[in-house]
Structure 1
Amino acid sequence: MRCAIYIRVSTNKEEQKSSLENQRELFYRYIGDKGWDVHEFYVDVETGTTDKRSSLQRLISDAKQRKFDVILAKELSRLARNGKLSYEIQDIAMRNRIDIITLDGAINTVEGNSSNFGLFAWLYEQESQRTSERIKSSFASKARRGEFKGSIPPYGYDVAGGVLTMRDDDTPSVVRRIFEMYLQGIGFDAIARTLTREEYPTPAQIAGKRNAGKYWHGSTIKLILTNPHYTGDLVQCREKTLSVTVKARETIPLDQQIVIPNSHQTLISREQFDLVQEMMQGRKKKRPKAKKHLFTNVAFCADCGQSMWYIQYRKGYVCGKYQKHGKYACEQHTIKEATLISIILDDIRELSRTLDEVEVLGKIKASADKERKLRERQVAELEKKMVRLRDSKNALIKKLADGIITDDDYQEFVANTNHEIHQLQEQVQQLKLSAQSNGLLDLERMKQEIQSFLKLDELTPEMLHQLVEKIEVQVDGTPKIYYRFTNPL
């Protein structure tokens, strides 16, 4: 039996890290007693009410491919504290003939013990709901006492003893400048580009977030402009999640929000703040549904990799990062839409003429067949190597159970082996995709499709997405077109 072992803790605190190790040891003993094999450990540090867990999503994906035979968890709540998610996991397991076992004895489908699945799923969700309500009640009590309860203070402020205090740096002046610029008629994105160009630290950078970017965004400017904390009032409990299992948020009515007037130092006057809100309301207008242009999500900047944006007055495309953040972020990389259409249609017409040549057609077929056989041999060799690596990894569990090797040795070996297997899997996938694109389209069918396309005498979305994988636009506007077929020209 190939075991997928799922381990989850709610936080990254030291006591939770200890729980991770304890859970691992439980599974080692259990698997050792059964004589089963470890497929992989899937570990998340995340709440059980959400399905947005990277390792859980990977486990579900692997289950659909039937990469293992049984899912092991300490208890059902480790997999999910969400009834809907619990049933989804159960359904995926049943459809792919995968068993579920929890070490607390509640669920063991190998032995036919699954009748209480629904009961435990409901109980764990109710427990999470009660915990959520207790936390919300605690937060509300702190808010009524005038304590700032957010995890990150507004840009321009620090928190000391639950009270917002003005930062001793440039951030308060940046906030004031944002309000002044907006009152001068400058829009969200234009303000963001200015702050990016002048290299002011973003809110994410000030908060010390690991994935903090250096670019300001219009959405960030809008959040600052609508934050009432800058007037000196502590306004909390403005939003809430619909439930512990539905993470969508809804705005709490104004009369139910908790407001403590004049609780901290003012950054923006109430008159200035109210005027900005009025201007924002006045600028709102119903925008027509954005038109998706022909090369949207097909054309990309060759330097930064961002999508190209269609600009109406240019009748063509510009690097999205340049358009959003200016030349500080990237160059324009402009190209006319008509130019791209003309180049692709010319390439397709030339390809159609080439495919009419019998000799060329024969050479292409022979070359494609030779390439296909080579890739099949390469795939077979890589798959044999993966089998050997999996065998050596699975054999190690007995040495671990017998105490021949330490847990650290095992984890290091498994981590290195999994990394190597993952790299081999990617190589196999690339070879298989390459095989599909190098012989890959039946040439006669491709010829018929191209000729049918040419009858339209225009480049349609259908033609584009069937024949072109992506386009990279160089800084001088030269396009590099990646076709989905091997170009025999």
Structure 2
Amino acid sequence: MPTKGCGIAQHFTILAYCADCGAKLYHHRSITLTKEQESYICSNYQSRKKCTAHYIRAVVLEQLVLQNLQRVVAYAQEDENEFVRRVMENKTAVQRAEQEQAKRKLEKQERRISELDRIIQQLYEDRVSGALSAERFAKLSGGYEKEQEELKQSAKELQAIVNTIETQAVNVQSFLKIVRKYTAPTELTPALLREFVEKIVVHAPDKSSGHRTQRIDVHYNFIGEIDFSPEYSRVSRQTTA
């Protein structure tokens, strides 16, 4: 039977991704390493040297994910209405602008699809009456039908964008159902990761301030990322000449 630690590690290798190249993180462990020394490293760096290491210790990653989860769950439990509002606003400005643009474009395309229906119908009538040759009919109708098919496919994609807000509202309620099943989490478990977390994005360390800081972004099932990402900070050791 796998240990709890092993279960957490297995889930992190599925959930954790490099912020720069998008590759999964590789769990670095061996019999010579203690639990404190185990780490996660970008698999592109590990295998093909196409990225930086994005090295983060396993215990630190667990700590940051747990802190993030604790903050999100506490917020949702304390004020569900405010939590729903914040989640919805998390997508706001840019996404709403995209949705409005998509809606206008969709309406325009739907009008053109209807117009093409009338044009194609007229072509058939002209062909039947002899006002249009078979060759000319084939060329015109083929072009219009191709345009109409492309517009229909595009309209489906635009409709999906327009429907996003309604879908988000349903998704927030699905997330809250999960939150209600738990009291405040005090430790990270495979069950919590399965229920709550969609993916974890690990950023490269930043030493520009003289400290080694490292950010992670936790994306949750149903609602995506909530801006509660803590950073791990450690004073960089200074070497002397």
CA distance in structure 1 between the aligned counterparts of 2:56 and 2:166, rounded to whole angstroms: 32
Q: 1:410 to 1:438 in 2, by over 3 A?
A: same
CA distance in structure 1 between the aligned counterparts of 2:44 and 2:88, rounded to whole angstroms: 42
Please point out which of 11, 27, 31 is paired with 1:310: 27
Deviation at 1:346, TM superposition (A): 0.9
CA distance in structure 1 between the aligned counterparts of 2:200 and 2:106, rounded to whole angstroms: 33
8 Å CA contact 2:73–2:179 kept in 1: the answer is yes
CA distance in structure 1 between the aligned counterparts of 2:169 and 2:51, rounded to whole angstroms: 34
What CA deviation, in whole Å up to 9, does each residue of 1:195-225 have, x standing for no partner?
xxxxxxxxxxxxxxxxxxxxxxxxxxxxxxx
Q: 1:472 to 1:434 in 2, by over 3 A?
A: farther
Deviation at 1:295, TM superposition (A): 1.9
8 Å CA contact 1:365–1:439 kept in 2: the answer is no
Are 1:448 and 2:180 an aligned pair? yes
Gaps of 5+ in 2: 1-6, 31-36, 206-213, 229-241
Aligned position for 1:426: 157
Gaps of 5+ in 1: 1-290
Q: Does the residue aligned with 2:40 lie in a helix, a strand or coil?
A: strand
Aligned position for 1:357: 78
Number of residue pairs matched by the alignment: 190
8 Å CA contact 2:87–2:172 kept in 1: the answer is no
RCO higher in 1 or 2 (8 Å CA, sep ≥ 6)? Answer: 2
Aligned position for 1:461: 190
Q: Does the residue aligned with 2:26 lie in a helix, a strand or coil?
A: strand
Are 1:478 and 2:210 an aligned pair? no
8 Å CA contact 2:178–2:196 kept in 1: the answer is no
8 Å CA contact 2:72–2:226 kept in 1: the answer is yes
CA distance in structure 2 between the aligned counterparts of 1:468 and 1:345, rounded to whole angstroms: 11
What CA deviation, in whole Å up to 9, does each residue of 1:401-436 have, x standing for no partner?
435866555555555554444344334334545543
8 Å CA contact 1:471–1:480 kept in 2: the answer is yes
Q: 1:355 to 1:384 in 2, by over 3 A?
A: same
Are 1:297 and 2:14 an aligned pair? yes
After TM superposition, the structure 1 = structure 2 runs for residues 215-230 of structure 1, keeping only pairs within 5 Å, are none
CA distance in structure 2 between the aligned counterparts of 1:438 and 1:383, rounded to whole angstroms: 22
Q: 1:338 to 1:407 in 2, by over 3 A?
A: farther
Aligned position for 2:236: none
Q: TM-score scaled by structure 2?
A: 0.57
CA distance in structure 2 between the aligned counterparts of 1:366 and 1:481, rounded to whole angstroms: 19
Q: 1:308 to 1:429 in 2, by over 3 A?
A: farther
CA RMSD of aligned residues (A): 4.1
What CA deviation, in whole Å up to 9, does each residue of 1:355-395 have, x standing for no partner?
3434xx333446778999x89x9698776556434434444
8 Å CA contact 1:296–1:308 kept in 2: the answer is yes
Q: TM-score scaled by structure 1?
A: 0.32
8 Å CA contact 2:18–2:42 kept in 1: the answer is yes
CA distance in structure 2 between the aligned counterparts of 1:331 and 1:408, rounded to whole angstroms: 55
